Structure 1
Amino acid sequence: MTDDLSTSGSYVKPGAQFDRDMSYIPDRVTAGGREPVDGRAGTGHPSPADAPPWPVEAGRYRLVAAYACPWANRSIIVRRLLGLEDVISLGTPGPTHDKRSWTFDLDPGGVDPVLGIERLQDAYLARYPDYPKGITVPALVEVASGEVVTNDFPWITHDFFFEWTEHHRPGAPDLWPEATRDEMEDVMKRVFTEVNNGVYRCGFAGSQEAYDEAYDRLWTALDWLEERLSTRRYLMGDHLTEADVRLFTTLARFDAVYHGHFKCNRQKLTEMPVLWAYARDLFQTPGFGDETDFEQIKQHYYVVQTDINPTQVVPKGPDPLVWLTPHGREELGGSPFGDGTPPAPRADV
């Protein structure tokens, strides 16, 4: 299975542990089409050396990213924080899809207004007529050719920061601060393996033994985060980084989906005082909460993942207004954007 939002196959394999296939289209978009910056993606997932680079060019690419998907939501948030809206357009598939592909059912006529396609699958097949894997988001698509460029989600946001620098807005935050980059890499890798992916190991466990192991690993990591964030406002200190973006998209889905749907039910997020305050702090920061859609999140998981929820009934709660309650994290000092500034309000709101 290529992704939690893969459009092929069953999610739950009886007797098996969930194993995420991290084999994606490896191409990178780089400044001038040069060899990409040799960074790391925070997953232990390397960038293949033979991946051909595509040049950074304003207006050339469209980011296709569903608000329902945590990996795609990450790319939407980073694009917004860095101010790339005018140079990389955004296409948003709806929250549900069939076995073939994500679809643009939220757009008039069910057609993406820029790419002119009904299914993201069309962009994959335009480049690879026999594409064998699931049609995943996020994906960068070249507008002129209609061909997918890459769906390698850890590197998409990495390159938004390192390769699109000349197009960053004035005051864009330093999402990969050099002074803490090595430690940040270790933190992001643990967040990815134990939390971002850990909730899926619980939800898609094919046996009691696999579930018990996944559950214990997840809560060990969440307890570690609760302790780490008790003395610092953000994962890497006084200012937000991409590490915070990556953790946020899982926390935003925790009580609405993962606690019940994925059986991650030792506690709700609202019952973990430090993580809950931290999550609200981020949610109330421009670029986070205003790029989060709880209804689309719930519709996706509860409707599409019929292995887990065969009735496709979508719960009405929890009340999203709790995300707007005071969090008190200012007492730890720091500020989200450091020497930078918040992004401008969304133009479509």
Structure 2
Amino acid sequence: MTTIPTDPDTGEFHRAPNHFTARITADGRDGWPVEPGRYRLVVSRACPWASRGLVVRRLLGLEDALSVAVADPIQDEKSWRFTLDPDGRDPVLGIRYLAEAYHAAEPDYDGGISVPAIVDVPSGRLVTNDYPRITLDLSTEWTAHHRPGAPDLYPEPLRDEIDAINGRVHADVNAAVYEAGFATTRAAYTDAYDRLFACLDELSDRLAHRRYLVGDSLTEADIRLFTTLVRFDAVYHGHFKCNRHKLTELPVLWAYARDLFQTPGFGDTVDFDHIKRHYYQVHEQINPTRIVPKGPDLTGWTSPHGREELGGRPFGDGTPPGPPPESERPGEAVVTGP
């Protein structure tokens, strides 16, 4: 069971800041230069923050330059573990727990162990767990290793607008679902719930007549919203009590989410089994029985969405990525029913 950091006075959930914020850059100015094969991206397919890295890595074609380790969706008292791998060890890093890389970087570290995390393979040291910066740097610092036809997910002329959208979505969607779910007072829960659905209503209005959040192609903003929307009905609606509406009851956002899910690089990184088992089995304070619900029916994710009529070019001047490597395909991207 994980400990949920809520304020004992207000009942508000506060996410801990990212402690390791070094950047991997083309010029190595933080001491960590971009080098293909040197680093390993550690993720959980259950985690929306980590899933951003999986989507960006796929869209940019960085599979050969940046390897990936997938943690078990079920944590224990030492947090993320590599029990999906033979002998319970990551085959590249040789460790059983991600915490080992954290402590290799800072032996006295006693904070949370979070994903995504990038580890330096030669030293075994954690480099960064700064999830907002990781994906932006994959787009802007790893360009020498992008695939031919990779999209520009953070175009310079649109960065101010992307940053503004990302800031609002982070506060009132990405974080708000957790703040509602982990709240221990009615006031804290109501505040998060109200902010969440007010923002979803605004996003619905914004997306009613445009295919993507910023510009006419996919950007970092769409990726950050998608990883919350794809978990909404499976987890957040019931488990986190974000139940004014299901995603499937919000016509614009449901069509938008299906459009992204069916775009190469998005749905082929999603594992609903990992998502559901993590939330319902790890958060025992919320779900003490640890029973994982059978629903919802997920077959609608592959139904027609009609968003093509709004125009836009998903990859801008680029091209879609090819299929994911066989070894990286989720066990079950879409199940056929509850």
Task: Give ranges in structure 2 of 5+ residues lacking alignment.
Answer: 330-338
Partner residue of 2:125 out of 147, 153, 171: 147
TM-score, length of structure 1 as denominator length: 0.91
Query: What pairs with 1:192-341 in structure 2 (closer than 5 Å)?
Result: 192-341=170-319
Asked whether the equivalents of residues 2 and 76 of structure 2 are also in contact (C-alpha less than 8 Å), the reply is no
1:12 is displaced (CA, Å) by: 4.7
SS of equivalent residue, structure 2 residue 123:
coil
Partner residue of 1:31 out of 22, 26, 42: 26
1:156 is displaced (CA, Å) by: 0.6
Partner residue of 2:147 out of 154, 169, 174: 169
SS of equivalent residue, structure 1 residue 140:
strand
> 1:217 and 1:207, CA in 2 relative to 1: closer, same or farther beyond 3 A?
same
1:21 is displaced (CA, Å) by: 1.9
Q: How far apart in 1 are the matches of 2:19 and 2:292?
A: 31
1:274 is displaced (CA, Å) by: 0.1
Asked whether the equivalents of residues 12 and 307 of structure 1 are also in contact (C-alpha less than 8 Å), the reply is no
Task: Tell me the residue number matched to 2:335.
Answer: none
Q: How many residues align?
A: 326
Q: How far apart in 1 are the matches of 2:2 and 2:296?
A: 30
1:9 is displaced (CA, Å) by: 2.9
Asked if residue 114 in structure 1 is aligned to residue 125 in structure 2, the reply is no
SS of equivalent residue, structure 1 residue 55:
coil
Asked if residue 22 in structure 1 is aligned to residue 17 in structure 2, the reply is yes
Q: Deviations over 1:78-120 (max 9, x none)?
A: 0111111001000000101112120111111211111111111
Asked whether the equivalents of residues 8 and 134 of structure 1 are also in contact (C-alpha less than 8 Å), the reply is no
Task: Tell me the residue number matched to 1:184.
Answer: 162
Asked if residue 76 in structure 1 is aligned to residue 70 in structure 2, the reply is no
Task: Tell me the residue number matched to 2:44.
Answer: 66
Asked whether the equivalents of residues 22 and 128 of structure 2 are also in contact (C-alpha less than 8 Å), the reply is yes
Residue type matched to 1:321 in 2?
A: T
Residue type matched to 1:187 in 2?
A: I
Asked whether the equivalents of residues 8 and 100 of structure 1 are also in contact (C-alpha less than 8 Å), the reply is no
Q: How far apart in 2 are the matches of 1:295 and 1:72?
A: 16
Asked whether the equivalents of residues 8 and 133 of structure 1 are also in contact (C-alpha less than 8 Å), the reply is no
Q: Deviations over 1:115-165 (max 9, x none)?
A: 111111111111211111111100000111111111111111111011101
Asked whether the equivalents of residues 18 and 129 of structure 2 are also in contact (C-alpha less than 8 Å), the reply is no
Q: How far apart in 2 are the matches of 1:110 and 1:321?
A: 33
1:11 is displaced (CA, Å) by: 4.5
SS of equivalent residue, structure 2 residue 32:
strand
Task: Tell me the residue number matched to 2:3.
Answer: 9
- Which is worse superposed, 11-20 or 237-246? 11-20
TM-score, length of structure 2 as denominator length: 0.94
Q: Deviations over 1:240-278 (max 9, x none)?
A: 101000000000000000000000000000000000000
